[in-house]
Amino acid sequence: MLVLSRKQKQEIHIGQDIKVTVLGIRGGVVKLGIEAPSDVHILRGELPSWYEAGSKHELEVSLT
């Protein structure tokens, strides 16, 4: 696992197509912005088992 430290408004680039930006930090909570191609699935850590099990309808998110 690669561990990086970033401050607010700093970015991390993953490959050529993905950019993660630290939008805010408040009370131990980090707000991230993720720019990625529409074919890249982005899930919160607690969702993969739910998503893979197919117990719910596919999650749709509008990214702007």
Question: DSSP for 10-56?
Answer: -EEEETTTEEEEEEEEETTEEEEEEE--TTS----TTSHHHHHHT-S
Tell me, yes or no, if the pTM score tops 0.75. no
Domain count for the chain: 1
Find, among 4, 63, 3, the residue nearest to 34 by Cα.
63
Phi-psi category of residue 9: left, alpha or beta, with phi > 0 → left and psi -120 to 50 → alpha: left
Average pLDDT over residues 45-49: 71
Q: Is the pLDDT of residue 50 over 80?
A: no
Q: Is residue 64 part of a domain?
A: no
Q: How confident is the model at residue 63 (pLDDT cuts 50, 70, 90)?
A: low
Contact criterion met (CB below 8 Å) for 54 and 48: no
Q: Is the pLDDT of residue 11 over 60?
A: yes
Mean pLDDT estimate for the chain:
83
Q: Which range marks the domain in which residue 48 is found? A: 10-55
Q: Is residue 24 part of a domain?
A: yes
